[in-house]
Structure 1
Amino acid sequence: MSLPFDLRALQCFVSVADHRGFSAAARELHVAQSAISQTVANLEKRLELTLFHRHERRISLTAEGEALYVHATSLLERAEAAHLAMRELHGLVKGEVRIGIPSMLGSYYFPPLLMGFKARHPGIRLTVVEAGTRRLQRMINAGELDLGVVIDDATSQGLERRRFLREEMVVCVPEDHPFAGRASVSPEDFFGEPLVLFQDGYFHREFVDALADAGGHQADVAFQSNLIPLTKAIVRQGFGITTFLRRVIDEPGLAAVSFAPPAWLELSLAWARGSGLSRAEQAFVDFVLEHPDQPR
């Protein structure tokens, strides 16, 4: 569809109408008066309408010009709003990042990252969803999340990924448990104890299930809970043991002991393959990867 005018022509028209003269409009727009006059004349020709009454010393809008003025000012305001929105996105003044985080990382790793990113980009809205890594993968593929934390393994191959964390999974026991004084705990000894585990779909549970399968062990699941404070309380009271990322065991009454051999998890930020990242999303990925406190 071919329009009878462009935004520049409308800007000239509105400026002439506002200043009731071509000379003043030319000064405001920093162009020659002849250019303003020619632009308005071309606009009238294309519309086949007279927009201004031209008097000897002044000009005024015709009825047709008044009708166009209403629409022109509205269009110019919308164009300026659109331009501002694009400038804001370019400068990361506004935007949104929807990110999915497993509870263990959401409680003990991401809070300072999220606050640091928000301090750098206060206009970007962060929406954080807590879920297991498998559910997060499904949400990314369904377009419900922009980014998510996944285990860097074969099941995540269909996603674009950037590895950001490698950390040890350790045995968590009460500080008076016999394991607490050891340098390490074998998988066999670990599975000989009642366990407090996350539900299926969380990397915590997948780690334990994979460890059991590798050694032919059977897990004695005494409790299932995705609530970290509750899990810690159960372990602290001696009703079972569990495994956490080492940084999660950060309070009195609990001890962290390495597996034998040590067990490491590698976690990545992931997004749908081929979808690309918005400027806000890319800024978040870059911020996580450049964070100086990241263990590598």
Structure 2
Amino acid sequence: MTLTQLRAFLSAWELGTFTAAADELEVTQASISELIVRLEAELGVQLFVRGSRRLKPTSAANELRPHAESALGSVEAAAQSMRSITSLESGVATFGVPRNANHYGLSDLVLTFHTRHPGVRIRMVGLNSEEVARMVDEGAIEAGLVVLPIRDTELDVEPLFLDRVLYATANRSKDAGSVRIEDIMADDLVLYDAHSGWDDPTRRQLWDRAQSAGHRPSAAIEVEHVESALSLVAAGVGGTIVSASLVRSRRLPRGVRTFEFEEPFEETLALIKRQGAVLSLATTTIVELVRETITPPTGAKRIRSRPAG
């Protein structure tokens, strides 16, 4: 039993004659007749009673019809799924980003992609970088944008640029100069990404710096979003760490000031995908848009490297 035979059978069942089925499938009437005869021989049943004007489906034909429709539907669904990988007409593009992705000028990326490829559904997953890396590694998403360092080494990593990390507080004079790790350890820390905790890449760097200076850092308050942390800082509750990109995007509340670290504190923004993975055309296009759209903050060091895959 072949797909060609099933198409001929369904067309004949719906249109009532071999001639009409042949016209629909753009083959000869003899070809349709031969396909049906072979199908009947393989199944050991008669599918049609040949009348002078129309074909009359038998009970066997009526029984076969839903199975034939299901088989051809599954084949078409599979073909459509494969077309979504190799074209930009349909399918879903899933891409992971840090929660603060808009600070890097990516707010227009989704609109640009949708305008160019309206048939493709977009799923932009905002997570902590560690979770983005885990989902890429597990195959739940094809690729993502993360802040380094991430623990997983089984990923292709394409660094894009270095961003400065600053200390934000309302309890320090604007002329106070740079801060040392000892200065912020003496302050109440208000940290975000509470769910990820010290697994967050930037917080992990802070942890390592503090331990190297003989301190064990702890947060007085942990919240999930940087905006919540900054609201508390604006109210005079300690300080937090923020990226220079956030400052550039003018997200700081009134009264909050930022200070450079005495020992430069930087984080790297990078694209990741699974090693050896071939990205769908939709995700490849999103990755290219990220490279085009992403805007490093003033003074950030763009990293020129070979694209990962």
Give the TM-score band, short-chain normalised: 0.7 to 0.9
Contact between 1:204 and 1:244, CA under 8 Å: does it hold in 2? no
Matched, 1:33 2:29: yes
For residues 72 and 189 of structure 1, what CA distance do their matches in structure 2 show? 74
Q: Which protein has the bigger strand share?
A: 1
Report what 1:256 is aligned to.
Answer: 258
Identity among equivalent positions (%) equals 27
TM-score by length of 1: 0.76
1:247 aligns with 245
Q: Per-residue deviation at 1:228?
A: 1.7
In structure 1, the residue matched to 2:172 is 177
Q: 1:77 Cα deviation (Å)?
A: 3.9
CA RMSD of aligned residues (A): 3.5
Aligned position for 1:200: 198
Q: Give yes or no for the alignment of 1:52 onto 2:54.
A: no
Which residue in the other structure is 1:234 paired with? Answer: 232
3-state DSSP class of the match of 2:199?
A: coil
1:128 aligns to what? 125
Matched residue type, 1:256: T
1:266 alignment partner, one of 265, 268, 273: 268
Gaps of 5+ in 2: 303-309
CA contact (8 A) 2:48 2:55 kept: yes
Q: For residues 64 and 200 of structure 2, what CA distance do their matches in structure 1 show?
A: 61
Which position in structure 1 is the counterpart of 2:163?
167
Which residue pairs with 1:17 in the alignment? Answer: 13
Q: Aligned ranges for residues 215-226 of structure 1 at < 5 Å?
A: 215-216=213-214, 219=217, 221-226=219-224
CA contact (8 A) 1:13 1:40 kept: yes
Change (3 A) 1:117 1:191: farther
Q: In the TM superposition, what is the alpha-carbon distance from 1:6 to its structure 2 partner?
A: 1.0
CA distance in 1, matches of 2:167, 2:123: 33
Equivalent in 154, 157, 178 of residue 158 of structure 1: 154
8 Å CA contact 1:100, 1:136 repeated in 2: yes
Amino acid at match of 1:22: F
**Per-residue deviation at 1:83?**
3.3
Shift of the 64–242 alpha-carbon distance from structure 1 to 2, 3 Å rule, reads: closer
Distance 1:47 1:219 in 2: 75
Distance 1:183 1:74, change over 3 A: same
Q: Distance in 2 between matches of 1:229 and 1:95?
A: 30
Equivalenced residue count is: 287
Equivalent AA in structure 2 for residue 159 of structure 1: L
Aligned partner of 1:286: which letter? E
Distance 2:231 2:15 in 1: 75
Structure 1's consecutive aligned runs of 4 or more residues displaced over 6 angstroms after TM superposition are none
Of 89, 94, 99, 2:91 maps to 94
**How far apart in 1 are the matches of 2:116 and 2:152?**
30
Q: Secondary structure at the match of 1:126?
A: strand
Comparing 184-193 with 264-273, which one deviates more in the overlay?
A: 184-193
Rounded to whole Å, the distance in 2 between the matches of 1:57 and 1:231 is: 80
